[in-house]
Amino acid sequence: MSLLDRVRACQVFEPGDFTPFIVDGELVGRVRAEAIIELADFSDIFAFEGGRVAMRGHIRGFDARTEVMDAVTRELRDRGLISGWREEPYPVGTGFSEPALFDMERAAVPFFGVRAYGVHINGWVDGDDGPAMWIGRRALHKPTGPGLLDQMVAGGQPSGMGLMENVIKECREEAGIAQDLASLAKPVGTISYVTERAEGLRHDVLFNYDLLVPADFTPINEDGEVAEFMLWPMARVIEELESRETFKFNAALVVIDFLVRHGFVDPEMPGYTDIVAGLHG
């Protein structure tokens, strides 16, 4: 399996299989066509016309929308249609810098195909033998990607929290990184993708950070979400990406972005331009 295969695995999306989800006249998500029958039970909340599902116009304002969507998503959870409930609100809107139209439980985001955001921190060491990367293995009880490989630190971007504030929080919880070190994390851009998964449509933007840690630093998980950490030379990281499907699908993209930016991927290799373009789907 090539690096390009990893990128293309996050480009599985057929628009015709999804119904646009409209709120206040704005496209905010896409729902699987077969899931629309479940939303038909909420006809006082949603209107179905013109090949779209739209929140009814009498539901106005952030608080009212948040309240009704909380009731809907809890009912869908109770029907077994949404799993991995976290009690973690995510903002739903038309863009990261735009005011949120409402908040939605994180686990429900893929069901409605709304855009979500996260922070991923590449922890790396510039040692005598060359650069190496800290890799985390996700705990087996995680609702998504249990046991798969991930960045040293990664987390969703919840409502009401700044990006660096979240980076510092996640660094502390997932890897025991003190604030003075975590605050040195360098923002290096984003990756984005739209891809169909078992849980629905993942339409995500990940804010990526590089954190150069001291050679004598060892991450220690504090919240139980990471089973173990491994410090791998970059050659081992590349081999793992190319030979085994052990990385969580979006974590693989973040690693590939690191490899491109740090020159570990040769621009003359076949598929290079498709790899780079595919990181911003």
pLDDT in tens, the chain (281 residues): 799 999 999 999 999 999 999 999 999 999 998 899 999 999 999 999 899 999 999 999 999 999 999 999 999 999 999 999 999 999 999 999 999 999 999 999 999 999 999 999 999 999 888 999 999 999 999 989 999 999 999 999 999 999 999 999 999 999 999 999 999 999 999 999 999 999 999 999 999 999 999 999 999 999 999 999 999 999 999 999 999 999 999 999 999 999 999 999 999 999 999 999 999 98
Q: Please give the Cα distance from 276 to 192 (Å, whole number).
A: 11
3-state secondary structure 159-218: CCCCHHHHHHHHHHHHHCCCHHHHCCCEEEEEEEEEEEECCEEEEEEEEEEEEECCCCCC
Q: Please give the Cα distance from 226 to 207 (Å, whole number).
A: 20
* Spatial contact of 141 and 230, defined as CB atoms under 8 Å apart: no
* Spatial contact of 26 and 94, defined as CB atoms under 8 Å apart: yes
Of the candidates 56, 66, 68, the one whose C-alpha atom is nearest the C-alpha of residue 25 is 56
